[in-house]
């Protein structure tokens, strides 16, 4: 899935039931070294949150 933009309307994060996040890296170690140039690097950061059904439907 590709998303071009995300719009946040504000509000409290207390409505989130569950959440998780993580990342995958390509051509980049978990711990980078000082004064090293890394090329062709990709970092994919993922965020997931489960909202209550009443919040999703706007009720």
**pLDDT tens track, the chain, 59 positions:** 455 665 656 665 556 678 888 989 999 988 889 999 999 888 898 888 877 766 555 54
Q: Which two tokens stand for residue 18?
A: 């569950």
The residue ranges of DSSP E strands in 1-59, in sequence order, are: 18-26, 42-50
pTM, 2 dp: 0.48
What are φ and ψ of residue 22, in 5° steps? -175, 175
How many residues are given for the chain? 59
pLDDT value, residue 14: 59
């Amino acid at each position: 899935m590709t998303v071009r933009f995300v719009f946040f309307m504000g509000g409290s994060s207390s409505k989130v039931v569950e959440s998780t996040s993580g990342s995958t890296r390509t051509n980049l170690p978990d711990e980078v070294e000082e004064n090293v140039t890394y090329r062709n690097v990709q970092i994919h950061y993922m965020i997931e949150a489960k909202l209550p059904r009443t919040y999703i439907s706007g009720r």
